[in-house]
């Protein structure tokens, strides 16, 4: 894996095509295993929505190796020079020399042919198109996000932006899930449809990742085939423990006087607590629940149901 050529905070020029480079600062740098990728922030605030994320190495040069193109606005383009203004080419030359003495890596303003000016105006319009674009969803709006199999999760739009002509959204889920939060497209989002946030729970076996859904009420745990959750170890008793789960998300576990005991552990603690027989213990999301020699974790899902 090649070392990164640019570092965070370094000043660079970014290439958009047509020989144009624009001044920017590296804000993030990483390697995806195949190529170097960078996030940048442009000096021109209107350029903040074009080629700002995951810019490839081929688009970037050191700022002292390139000529930076000035984006000329219509007002600047048609402004008649004042009588006491120095000649334009002379003014540019003097300005460039002065800036070069004061700061060698400062952005240089060069004269641009008319066809390049027209192209620059087009690029500038593309840059500002995100601000002018009417998005299907707006920041702060509640939506539902599809994770497949017709399962929708409630979320709030945290950011809406364009890449080219494609809308992208970042979201924050109602249950705080960190998965699938960025770069979402329209197809996986929809407006809420008279849905209710349903809380479901399951035990996740740590060694295999297998999930065992909990039903509302009493869930019997043990080695016996008649148990709601069958524990795959001969060290577990036939009826080892009981898990109680309510609609409001409260869960408790009770050891049933098992031979090889049950334990629980909070995610903030480093030691397990051995359960006294027939005494209920309240547990919350991400608590570890150990049955004999098998470890589980309690997980919750907040699902939007039709």
Residue-range domain boundaries for the chain: 11-132, 142-193, 197-305
C-alpha dihedral sign at 173, 179, 181, 184: negative
* Predicted pLDDT at 85: 47
**% the chain with pLDDT above 70:** 72
What is the fold of 142-193? SH3 type barrels. (2.30.30)
Nearest to 72 by CA among 105, 110, 37: 110
Higher pLDDT, 107 or 78: 107
Q: Is the pLDDT of residue 125 over 80?
A: no
Specify the DSSP element, H or E, that contains 126.
Answer: helix 114-132
**pTM of the entire predicted model:** 0.38
* Predicted pLDDT at 149: 67
Q: Is the pLDDT of residue 200 over 70?
A: yes
* Predicted pLDDT at 264: 97
Cross-strand pairs, 212: 203
* Predicted pLDDT at 2: 65
Q: Are strands 60-62 and 55-56 parallel, antiparallel or unpaired?
A: unpaired
The matching CATH number, chosen from 2.60.200.20, 3.40.50.360, 3.40.50.2300, 3.60.21.10, for 197-305 is 2.60.200.20
Structure tokens at 86: 């120095």
* Predicted pLDDT at 97: 58
Q: Is the pLDDT of residue 196 over 70?
A: no
Higher pLDDT, 177 or 296: 296
Range of 127-141, 147-161, 197-211, 262-276 with top mean pLDDT: 262-276
* Integer Cα distance of 38 and 271 in angstroms: 42
């Amino acid at each position: 894996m090649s070392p990164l050529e640019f570092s965070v905070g370094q000043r660079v020029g970014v290439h958009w095509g047509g020989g144009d480079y624009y001044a920017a600062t590296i804000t993030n740098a990483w390697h995806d295993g195949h190529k170097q990728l960078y996030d940048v922030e442009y000096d021109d605030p209107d350029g903040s929505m074009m080629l700002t994320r995951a810019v490839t190495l081929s688009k970037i040069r050191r700022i002292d190796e390139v000529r930076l193109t000035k984006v000329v606005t219509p007002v600047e383009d048609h402004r008649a020079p004042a009588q006491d203004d120095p000649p334009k080419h002379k003014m540019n030359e003097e300005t460039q020399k002065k800036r070069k003495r004061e700061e060698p890596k400062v952005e240089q303003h060069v004269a641009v042919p008319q066809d390049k000016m027209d192209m620059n105006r087009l690029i500038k319009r593309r840059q500002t198109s995100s601000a002018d674009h009417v998005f299907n969803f707006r920041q702060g709006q509640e939506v539902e996000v599809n994770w497949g199999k017709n399962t929708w999760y409630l979320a709030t739009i945290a950011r809406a932006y364009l890449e080219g002509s494609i809308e992208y959204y970042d979201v924050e889920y109602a249950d705080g899930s960190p998965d699938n939060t960025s770069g979402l497209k329209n197809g996986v989002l929809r407006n809420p449809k008279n849905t209710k946030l349903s809380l479901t729970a399951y035990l996740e076996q740590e060694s295999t990742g297998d999930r065992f859904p909990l039903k509302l009420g009493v869930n019997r745990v043990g080695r016996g085939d008649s148990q709601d959750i069958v524990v795959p170890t001969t060290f577990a008793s036939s009826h080892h423990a009981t898990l109680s789960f309510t609609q409001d998300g409260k869960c408790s576990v009770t050891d049933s006087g098992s031979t090889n005991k049950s334990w629980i552990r909070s995610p903030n603690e480093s030691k397990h607590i051995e359960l006294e027989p027939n005494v209920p213990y309240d547990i919350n999301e991400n608590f570890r629940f150990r049955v004999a020699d098998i470890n589980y974790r309690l997980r919750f899902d907040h699902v939007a149901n039709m």
